[in-house]
Chains A and B, each alone.
Chain A
Amino acid sequence: MSQTLSRYRVSTRRSAELALLVGAWLIGVFAWILVDANTGDGSLGGWTSLISAGMLLLIAHGVVRWQAPYADPLLLPSVAALNMLGLAMIHRLDAADAQRAASNGSPQPTPDVYLQLTWMLVGLVAFMLVLSFVSDHRRLQRFTFTAGFAGIALLFLPLLPVIGNEVNGARLWISFLGFTFQPGELAKVALTIFFAGFLVTRRHSLALVHRKIFGLGVPRAKDVGPLLLVWLAALLVLILERDLGTSLLLFGLFIVMLYVATGRRSWVIIGGLLLTVGGALAYQAFGHVQIRFNVWLHPFDDPTGNGFQIVQSLYGLANGGIFGTGWGQGYPQLVPFSKTDFITSALGEELGLMGLIAILLLFAIVVERGARAAIATRDPFGNLLAIGLTTAIGIQTFIVVGGVTRLVPLTGLTTPFLSYGGSSLVANYIIIAILIRISNAARAPEITDAQLVMRQEAASQ
């Protein structure tokens, strides 16, 4: 009886997830030990932090086991590994800050890693809440317009007086109760839900060809409306908040989701044209866009001024070479914003090309697994939402890593799961929670074991 049953039981792969999660945690532990060995007196001061991080991941795994037993086993361990590596690098840069303060005779700064650890807690709690309360991702479709308004509101929140905060020329932070938050990161999640919900109901009308211009099928004008609206919103963000990265990300995300929803390549081409026009306009209109672009082309023209960040980043990568200097043995603190935007070059310096390739492969795994969930899920909203969220992580990684390695102009975004910053970590853990939820739906057997038992009992009678 039980033998017959086990043939029908779908493997959940939860044990594999647990094993991989332990591996991801150990990567962080060893990194942390090496940092302490190479920068401090060699005593492991952060073991409480490491244990708490491990406990958090374990609890998250428990919630997945309970709430989404058929979920993809690779998603959580991959981002956990990235999160642990990010923690170790922030810890390492804290050590450099402490050293600098000591040699300058200034007071010791508060280590950032503890705040990041707190945000990891918040992020994983959000992850668990989403998994617990969103028992079916299709429910999210009900909140399409709520998510849309919330997304737009979050985007423009930093423009408000009092709570809006301008940092380094970009106005993308809000602060309250002593915490700073980057609402654009959460807006990314809300807007992806909105795009998915909006597009899934209109994809057929959007796919209708109104007429052909230069061989391009052009949709009806009223269908182009929403696209133009998002384009304008992205431009507004760019103009009002000077946030190149977020506007690029949102626009790219919307084009991709339009394309997936309608299956029409003309959207990609129109989107590409709008992007070019928008970019050209921005270049003409804004000094900071011109500077970014010119620095991208000729970073060594002004290596101590405008080119300083990217030049230092490249020096760091060069210093790392193929195998890296090792944890705590490079000079990643010489790169500005090495805990946030430039954490990739810090990792590239100390872990080398090998380390960076491993990190990018972790992102590739997340993308591949996200896409797999997108393909395997059975409802169009799920398809669209999963590929949208996956694309958000993929594009963001490309924009920021490409920026600090001079493949594309530097725009300034956080590196998902690696960078210091709470909003980014929380938003990305929510994305992973939704992807896990969708993958669970995709992988779960259509009939449950209980139904199977009943059916077999009926048959044997």
Chain B
Amino acid sequence: MIRQINRVTAVIVFLLLALIINISYIQVFEARDLRGQAGNQRVMLTEYSRERGPILLGSQAIAESTSTDDALKYLREYPDAETLASVTGFYSLVYGATGIESAENDVLAGNDSRFFVDRLQQMFANREPKGGAIRLTIDPAAQAAAMKALNGRTGAVVAIDPSTGAILALASSPSFDPNLLSSHNASDIQTNYDELNADPDQPLLNRPLAMTLPPGSTFKLVTAAAALESGKYSANSELPGPNQINLPGTDVQLGNWNDKACGPGDVTTLQRALEISCNTAFAWLGMELGADAISEQAKKFGFESEFAVPMTAAVSRFPVDPNKPQTAMSAIGQFDVRATALQMALVAAGIANDGVVMKPYLVSQILGPDLTVLQNTNPSAFGRAMSVENSKILRDMMVGVVANGTASKARISGIAVGGKTGTAENAPGEPAHAWFVGLAPSESPKIAIAVVLQNGGGATEVSGNSLAAPIAAAVMRAVLDR
């Protein structure tokens, strides 16, 4: 009987052990999935019961929690809602969070491990736990100028401090009011969300980060950088610039936007080709340099890389192994080249910062619940895209584009603005995307900027100048007037 008793005991102890193993699996390995399950109210209840930290521009809160007397103790409010929706995102009971609200949720909700000591203190002092705060790099004047200049048209603006990578403006238009989605009334939230979601202009889309479009002629900056970096070309190198060229192996004739040759005797210089946005010269240049060289140059500017600013931006692409005519088209930002506004701002920023591309970021400081600074963001380099010499040459060429070329509307009196316009062909017959990419002041740039208006205008190079360049000028003025 004793042997049987021992066996039975062993089996029961084994069963208890099985319980422990199973519970360990649930509470350690499965816990994350279970917490993320739609319909799990606990995570939300925990977050709502705690005062969520504010999102700050300087000392101004652009998202803050105010206490209420309903079951969810705090209401999230956005004072300057529409101007900053692309940055703050929303914080919704029904639809979760987006933007900084989502990307920095651990800090704002107070779950971040950096708050461990704070949490202990709060526990012992019997104070209500509180989330930390996020201070952003956004320049309120630049952001407001961008939103005002976009004026409800579908488009995006990204402005960056080229020396640090700090994002000064991140505008998406048309915008929405996050307050509509952050109330405590679930059915209101649903109605509002459905309405926003059904809007053909997609106000919920974060255009500067999420939308990739063909960059059009603004991509000629990358091709020009590749040409300079190859060592075979200078600003004054002569290039063929006829009215149109035949794309090898096809019947396609690639023409210039104004249907004219780019210089007397069908010859132009690299400098002049950029100024007047000469398609034939850059298509020829692209085929001479080869797809690999342009692709390499694009990657150095950040193409094919994923940036978390901390919201993750869509990856910008240069086509893989294009053939010759495709390379020619890619060199002028057509074919399968796709870029976000952020990416094109990074191209300008790299050129502006003596060839070094800084990693873009939105969060300048992480603050504790009592607003003491816990962490400052240290700017860091993404990589060198071109030499100091070549970046200066390219900057001068860009100044030429504004002063003597296609980007006249970007001029600011007394300041050397550099830029490049672009008009990216969309599907045939549809209006093109109007681009402007620029920097100012050229001698020591304080701002690099990309503006895109989606389906902004006619299929001519003019729209980049007439539509996008003035927006850029307004934002640059706002930054430089500080």
Report which A residues bind B (CB closer than 8 A).
37, 42, 103, 256, 259-261, 263, 300, 303-304, 311, 314-322, 330-331, 334, 348, 352-353, 356-357, 360, 363-364, 367-368, 371, 374-375, 380, 383-384, 387, 390-391, 394-395, 397-398, 401-402, 405-407
**B residues in contact with A398, CB < 8 Å:** 12, 15-16, 18-19
Q: How many residues of B contact A (CB 8 A)?
A: 37
A364 B13 Cβ-Cβ under 8 A = yes
Select A357's contact among B20, B30, B71, beta carbons within 8 Å. Answer: B20
A321 B20 Cβ-Cβ under 8 A = no
Chain B 29-44 near chain A by CB (<8 Å), digits 1 or 0: 0111111010111110
A367 B6 Cβ-Cβ under 8 A = no
Given A260-B4, A317-B31, A322-B28, A395-B12 contact (CB < 8 Å): yes
Rounded to whole angstroms, the CA-CA distance of A360 and B13 in the bound complex is 10
Give the Cβ gap from A443 to chain B, nearest Cβ, in Å. Answer: 16
B28 A380 Cβ-Cβ under 8 A = no
Select B18's contact among A42, A348, A352, A407, beta carbons within 8 Å. Answer: A407
Select A374's contact among B5, B46, B126, beta carbons within 8 Å. Answer: B5
Q: Tell me if B27 counts as interface (CB < 8 A to partner A).
A: yes
Chain B 148-188 near chain A by CB (<8 Å), digits 1 or 0: 00000000000000000000000000000000000000000
Report how many A-B pairs have Cβ atoms within 8 Å: 135
Rounded to whole angstroms, the CA-CA distance of A316 and B37 in the bound complex is 12
Interface of B, secondary structure class, is helix
B16 A397 Cβ-Cβ under 8 A = yes
Give the Cβ gap from B17 to chain A, nearest Cβ, in Å. Answer: 8
**A residues in contact with B26, CB < 8 Å:** 314, 317-318, 405-406
Give the Cβ gap from B355 to chain A, nearest Cβ, in Å. Answer: 48
**B residues in contact with A405, CB < 8 Å:** 19, 22-23, 26
Q: Tell me if B67 counts as interface (CB < 8 A to partner A).
A: no
Rounded to whole angstroms, the CA-CA distance of A304 and B39 in the bound complex is 9
Closest chain B residue, CB of each to CB of A402: B19
Give the Cβ gap from B19 to chain A, nearest Cβ, in Å. Answer: 5
Rounded to whole angstroms, the CA-CA distance of A106 and B31 in the bound complex is 35
Q: Tell me if B246 counts as interface (CB < 8 A to partner A).
A: no
Rounded to whole angstroms, the CA-CA distance of A364 and B42 in the bound complex is 31
Rounded to whole angstroms, the CA-CA distance of A315 and B8 in the bound complex is 33
Give the Cβ gap from B308 to chain A, nearest Cβ, in Å. Answer: 26
Q: Tell me if B24 counts as interface (CB < 8 A to partner A).
A: yes
Select B31's contact among A318, A330, A368, beta carbons within 8 Å. Answer: A318
**A residues in contact with B71, CB < 8 Å:** 103
Chain B 373-406 near chain A by CB (<8 Å), digits 1 or 0: 0000000000000000000000000000000000
Rounded to whole angstroms, the CA-CA distance of A181 and B37 in the bound complex is 38
Rounded to whole angstroms, the CA-CA distance of A248 and B319 in the bound complex is 66
Given A360-B16, A391-B8, A407-B19, A318-B27 contact (CB < 8 Å): yes
Closest chain B residue, CB of each to CB of A42: B126
6 A-B interface contacts by CB (under 8 A): A259-B4, A317-B23, A318-B40, A384-B1, A402-B18, A407-B19
Rounded to whole angstroms, the CA-CA distance of A315 and B40 in the bound complex is 7
A368 B22 Cβ-Cβ under 8 A = no
Select A315's contact among B18, B37, B126, beta carbons within 8 Å. Answer: B37
Closest chain A residue, CB of each to CB of B42: A319
Give the Cβ gap from A100 to chain B, nearest Cβ, in Å. Answer: 10
Q: Tell me if B117 counts as interface (CB < 8 A to partner A).
A: no
**A residues in contact with B39, CB < 8 Å:** 303-304, 311
Give me the 4 closest cross-chain CB pairs, A-B, nearest first. A318-B34, A394-B12, A371-B9, A318-B31
**B residues in contact with A352, CB < 8 Å:** 27
Closest chain A residue, CB of each to CB of B40: A315
Rounded to whole angstroms, the CA-CA distance of A42 and B35 in the bound complex is 29
B5 A375 Cβ-Cβ under 8 A = yes
Closest chain B residue, CB of each to CB of A258: B4
A260 B1 Cβ-Cβ under 8 A = yes
User: Known pairs A353-B27, A402-B19. 6 more at Cβ < 8 A?
Assistant: A315-B40, A315-B42, A316-B42, A318-B34, A360-B20, A394-B15
Give the Cβ gap from A99 to chain B, nearest Cβ, in Å. Answer: 10
Rounded to whole angstroms, the CA-CA distance of A405 and B32 in the bound complex is 16
**B residues in contact with A263, CB < 8 Å:** 1, 3-4
Q: Tell me if B2 counts as interface (CB < 8 A to partner A).
A: yes
**A residues in contact with B371, CB < 8 Å:** none
Rounded to whole angstroms, the CA-CA distance of A32 and B32 in the bound complex is 29
**B residues in contact with A390, CB < 8 Å:** 9, 12
Give the Cβ gap from B147 to chain A, nearest Cβ, in Å. Answer: 40
**B residues in contact with A348, CB < 8 Å:** 23, 27
Give the Cβ gap from B14 to chain A, nearest Cβ, in Å. Answer: 10
Given A318-B26, A405-B22, A375-B12 contact (CB < 8 Å): no
Select B9's contact among A303, A368, A407, beta carbons within 8 Å. Answer: A368
Give the Cβ gap from B27 to chain A, nearest Cβ, in Å. Answer: 4
**A residues in contact with B15, CB < 8 Å:** 394-395, 398, 402
Give the Cβ gap from B48 to chain A, nearest Cβ, in Å. Answer: 12
Q: Tell me if B45 counts as interface (CB < 8 A to partner A).
A: yes
Given A331-B45, A390-B9, A314-B18 contact (CB < 8 Å): no
Rounded to whole angstroms, the CA-CA distance of A394 and B17 in the bound complex is 12
**B residues in contact with A315, CB < 8 Å:** 34-35, 37, 40-42
Closest chain B residue, CB of each to CB of A387: B5
Give the Cβ gap from B68 to chain A, nearest Cβ, in Å. Answer: 13
- Most chain A beta-carbon neighbours within 10 Å: one of B16, B28, B46: B16
Closest chain B residue, CB of each to CB of A353: B27
Given A319-B42, A331-B42, A391-B8, A353-B28 contact (CB < 8 Å): yes
Give the Cβ gap from B5 to chain A, nearest Cβ, in Å. Answer: 5
- Most chain A beta-carbon neighbours within 10 Å: one of B18, B26, B40, B126: B26
**B residues in contact with A401, CB < 8 Å:** 19
Rounded to whole angstroms, the CA-CA distance of A345 and B269 in the bound complex is 76
Select A387's contact among B8, B23, B31, beta carbons within 8 Å. Answer: B8
Give the Cβ gap from A101 to chain B, nearest Cβ, in Å. Answer: 13
**A residues in contact with B46, CB < 8 Å:** 319, 331
Closest chain B residue, CB of each to CB of A356: B23
**B residues in contact with A321, CB < 8 Å:** 27-28, 31
Closest chain B residue, CB of each to CB of A372: B9
Rounded to whole angstroms, the CA-CA distance of A354 and B27 in the bound complex is 10
Give the Cβ gap from B24 to chain A, nearest Cβ, in Å. Answer: 6
**B residues in contact with A397, CB < 8 Å:** 16, 19
**B residues in contact with A375, CB < 8 Å:** 2, 5-6
**B residues in contact with A317, CB < 8 Å:** 23, 26-27, 31, 34
- Most chain A beta-carbon neighbours within 10 Å: one of B9, B33, B41: B9
**A residues in contact with B18, CB < 8 Å:** 398, 402, 407
**B residues in contact with A334, CB < 8 Å:** 41-42
